[in-house]
A and B are shown apart, each in its own frame.
Chain A
Amino acid sequence: MTMPTGHSDATNALTPPGTGWRSASDGATPSPATRTQSPVLLRVEGLRKRFSVRTGLCSKAYVSAVDNVSFTVEAGTTLGIVGETGCGKSTTARLVLGLIEPDAGSVAFEGVDVQTLTGPRRKTVRRNMQMVFQDPYSALNPRMSIGESIAFPLRVHGYSKAEQRERIEILLQQVGLHSQHASYYPHQMSGGQRQRVNIARALALEPRLVIADEAVSALDKSVQAQVLNLLTDLQERLQLTYIFISHDLNVVQYMSDRVLVMYLGQIVEHCTPEALYAAPLHPYTKALLASIPDVNPDQPPAAPLEGELPSPLSPPSGCRFRTRCAAAMPVCAAARPPMLQERPGHFVACHLYGPSAPAGTDEGHIPLTNH
C-alpha cells in the first residue's frame, strides 16, 4: 500500500486558519527538551488475563487471552501491535486502560503503578490514557449528538458548560470537522466522520497516551489514509504517545516506531518496523509478511500459513506457534522460548535463536521465508 504524500498539508488545510490550538503540553506534559530523552511513559510487566468459559453445567474452562505480556512505550513514540484476530491485542489494550482487571502483572504510567491507585488519584492518571475504538458505528452513542458525545468526558470531570462548548469547537476543528457537526447525530455521519469524532472524544481530556484499537480497519482505504494522516498529524501537534493496534501490517509499519507481534496472547517478536520488514526472525512473523498480497502480479503467491489458530482453551505446550510452524523441533513442545535479544533492539521468542538454537542454524535455513 502506498501512502499518499503531501497528505499532512491537506489535513492541515481542513483546519480554519487562525485556530488557537490548545496543545496537550499545556501544563503538565514534558517540554521538548525532556521529550528528546524519550522517558518511558508506560511500562507493562507480566500482564496476564484468563477468561472463564462455561463448558457445562458445573464445569469451567479458561481462555488464556493474554499471557505474560511485557513492553514499554516511550513518550512521543508509537508502539504498533500486530497479530491475527483473537491473539489478545484488544485484551491487552483494555488491560492497560483498566477496562478489564488483569490476573497478574502491572501497568505503570510514568512510573506509577495504576492498579494501586484508588479514587481521585486513579481518575487523574486514567484520564491520561484514552482509546480510539474500532467500530465507528458502535463507538458513538446513537442517542447523543456529536457535541454531547465529545463533551461527556469533560462533563464527568466537572468542566463548565462554556468550557465544554469551547473545547468541542477546538476538538472538532482539530480532527477536521466543522463546529456545526456538534449538533449532528451519529446516524447522519459517514464512517470516516464518525471515526474523526471518535478521535476527538479520545482527545477531549488531553490524554498523554492514546490507544487506537483497529482504529482504521472498518474504513475504506482512502478514508483510512486520511484518518492515519490525521493521527500522525495530531501526534506531532499534541505530542501524543500511541499504541496502535491492527491486524494490518502495512498500517502498523506506517504508524509505528516499534512493533510487537503477538500470537495467541504472547509476544513473539519485538523490533522496529524496518527490521520487521527487512529481517523478520520469528517464523510466525515471516508467515504474516508472506501473506501480504503483493502488488507485483509476477510474484508467485506465498505459501499460506497452514492450519487453524489453535483453540485458546488449550494452547499448545511450550511454544504456542509450534503446531503451525514448519521449523518446529522437539524442544518447542517441551519449553516455552524465552524472549531474547537476537540483534540490537530486536527481540524474539523462538527456539531457533539463542542457546537452544540447533547447531549451524540461522534464520537463512528457516523455511517459510520469501524475502
Chain B
Amino acid sequence: MVAMVQVPAAVPATPDTGAVAPRSYLAEVRTRFLHNRAGMIAVSALVLLAVAALVAPLLSPYDPLIGNATRRLLPIGSAGHPLGTDEQGRDMLTRLLYGGRLSLLTGMLPVIVSTVIGTVIGATAGYLGGPVGAVLMRTMDMLYAFPAIMLAIAISASLGPGVTNSVLAISMVFIAPISRVAEAATRRVIFLEYIEAARLSGASTACILRSQVLPNIFNPIFVYASGLIGLSIVIASGLSFLGMGARPPVPEWGFMLNSLRGAIYVQPWVAALPGFLIFVTSMSCNMMSDALRDALDIKDA
C-alpha cells in the first residue's frame, strides 16, 4: 500500500510521448482499402465499365443506333459481332458499351444528389432536435412509408418520361433513407464533449455542423450511399423497362433488357447480357461499400 502511494513520486514526469508515427486517418483508410481484395476487384470492375462506356466509340466500329436488318439476333461469338446482335440487327457489344453511359449515370447521379440533400436534412434535424427536427423527420418518414420502386414510379409518372425525370424521381426516393441514417449518426455525435467544446468557442450552428458533425457522420452515410448505387441502377433500369426512363433508340441496359424480352427463346444468352451487366455493376457497388466500411472502421476512437 505504502509502495503504491509512492509510485507517482517515483515516476519522472516525462512527456508521455509514445513513439507513434504520425499517420493521417485517411492514409490509414486508403492502405486498408487497397489491401481488401474483394473491394479492389469490385472497384476495378466499376472503373473498367465506366472507362469502356466513355471510350465506346474507340472500342467499337458500329453505330449503336443503326442496325443491319439482315443480321438480326445473331448468337454470341458470331463473326464481326462477338456478343451477337439484337432484334434490330444492332451490335450488342456496342450497345452495351454505350448503354453503360446512361445506366451508370442514372446509378451514380441520384445517389450523389440524394446524399447531399439527405445529409443536410438529417444533420440539421439531428442537431437541432425539438419541433424542427420532428417536422423534418416525420416528413421523411412519410416518404419512407412507400416502397422505393412504387414511389419512383409514381414520381416518374407524374413528372413524365425521360432520363432527367427518372434521375429526379430516384433522388427523391433516396433522400428519406439517407436523411434517417444522417439523423441517427448526428444524434450519436452531438452529445460528445468535443461538440460542447466547439460551442464554448462561440462557433455558429452551421460552422459546428460543417466542421465538427459532418466529418464524424460521413462514414455511415457514405457506406450506406455506396450501397444504394446498385439499387439505383436497378430502379433506373426498372423505370426504363416500364418506359419511364430512357427513350428508345438510345441504349440503356434496363430498356435493352425489356426490348430483348421477345427474343428470350431465340437467343437467351444475348437477351440476358444487359441483365448480367446490371448484376455485375450492382454487385460491385455492394462489394465496394462493404470493403469501404471495413476500411473506415479503424476504431472509432
Q: Hey, which bits of chain A sit against chain B, CB under 8 A?
A: 1-5, 7, 10-11, 13-14, 94, 97, 99, 123, 126-127, 129-131, 133-135, 137-145, 149, 152-153, 156-157, 176-178, 180-181, 183-190, 192-193, 201-202, 204-205, 221-226, 229, 295, 297
A-B contact sample (11 more), CB < 8 A, given A2-B6, A2-B9, A184-B20: A13-B13, A140-B194, A156-B203, A189-B20, A190-B16, A190-B18, A193-B16, A225-B13, A226-B16, A295-B2, A297-B1
Question: At the interface with chain A, which of B65-73, B121-129, B208-216?
Answer: B208-216
Contact B216 A99 (CB under 8 A): no
Q: A181-B17, A222-B11 are in contact. Are A187 and B298 (CB under 8 A)?
A: yes
Q: Can you report 29 residue pairs joining A to B where beta carbons are below 8 Å apart?
A: A5-B9, A10-B12, A14-B15, A99-B199, A126-B200, A130-B200, A131-B200, A139-B192, A141-B194, A141-B215, A144-B212, A152-B211, A153-B203, A157-B201, A176-B15, A178-B15, A181-B17, A185-B24, A185-B25, A187-B25, A187-B298, A188-B22, A193-B18, A201-B197, A222-B7, A222-B8, A224-B8, A225-B13, A295-B2
Cα-based distance from A13 to B13 in the complex (angstroms): 9
Closest chain B CB from A172 CB (angstroms): 10
Q: Does B202 contact A (CB under 8 A)?
A: yes
Q: A187-B298, A297-B1 are in contact. Are A223 and B16 (CB under 8 A)?
A: yes
Contact B9 A4 (CB under 8 A): yes
Cα-based distance from A24 to B266 in the complex (angstroms): 86
Contact A145 B24 (CB under 8 A): yes
Contact B5 A1 (CB under 8 A): yes
Closest chain A CB from B32 CB (angstroms): 14
Contacts of B184 in A (CB 8 A): none
Contact A188 B23 (CB under 8 A): yes
User: How many residues of chain B have a CB within 8 Å of chain A?
Assistant: 39
Closest chain A CB from B290 CB (angstroms): 22
Contact B200 A180 (CB under 8 A): no
Q: Hey, which bits of chain B sit against chain A, CB under 8 A?
A: 1-2, 5-9, 11-13, 15-18, 20, 22-25, 192-194, 196-203, 207, 211-212, 215-216, 298-301
Contact B20 A188 (CB under 8 A): yes
Contact A152 B203 (CB under 8 A): yes
Contacts of A221 in B (CB 8 A): 7-8
Contact B196 A177 (CB under 8 A): no
Cα-based distance from A94 to B193 in the complex (angstroms): 11
Contact A186 B200 (CB under 8 A): no
Closest chain A CB from B146 CB (angstroms): 28
Closest to A146 in B: B22
Cα-based distance from A189 to B47 in the complex (angstroms): 38
Cα-based distance from A186 to B215 in the complex (angstroms): 14
Contact A133 B22 (CB under 8 A): no
Q: A2-B6, A188-B22, A189-B20 are in contact. Are A134 and B197 (CB under 8 A)?
A: no
Contacts of A229 in B (CB 8 A): 13
Q: A138-B192, A188-B22, A295-B1 are in contact. Are A97 and B200 (CB under 8 A)?
A: yes
Contacts of A204 in B (CB 8 A): 201
Contacts of A13 in B (CB 8 A): 13
Closest chain B CB from A54 CB (angstroms): 14
Closest chain B CB from A115 CB (angstroms): 15
Contact A99 B196 (CB under 8 A): yes
Contacts of A14 in B (CB 8 A): 13, 15
Contacts of B198 in A (CB 8 A): 152
Closest chain A CB from B76 CB (angstroms): 50
**Quick one: which of A3, A139, A186 contacts B197, CB cutoff 8 A?**
A139
Q: Looking at B198, B201, B301, which has the most chain A CB atoms within 10 Å of its CB?
A: B201
Cα-based distance from A129 to B199 in the complex (angstroms): 12
Closest chain A CB from B74 CB (angstroms): 55
Cα-based distance from A223 to B18 in the complex (angstroms): 14
Contacts of B197 in A (CB 8 A): 131, 133, 139, 201-202
Contacts of A143 in B (CB 8 A): 25, 215-216
**Quick one: which of A11, A94, A142 contacts B13, CB cutoff 8 A?**
A11
Contacts of A295 in B (CB 8 A): 1-2, 5
Closest to B1 in A: A295
Contacts of B207 in A (CB 8 A): 156
Contacts of A226 in B (CB 8 A): 13, 16
Contacts of A94 in B (CB 8 A): 196
**Quick one: which of A5, A134, A192 contacts B193, CB cutoff 8 A?**
A134
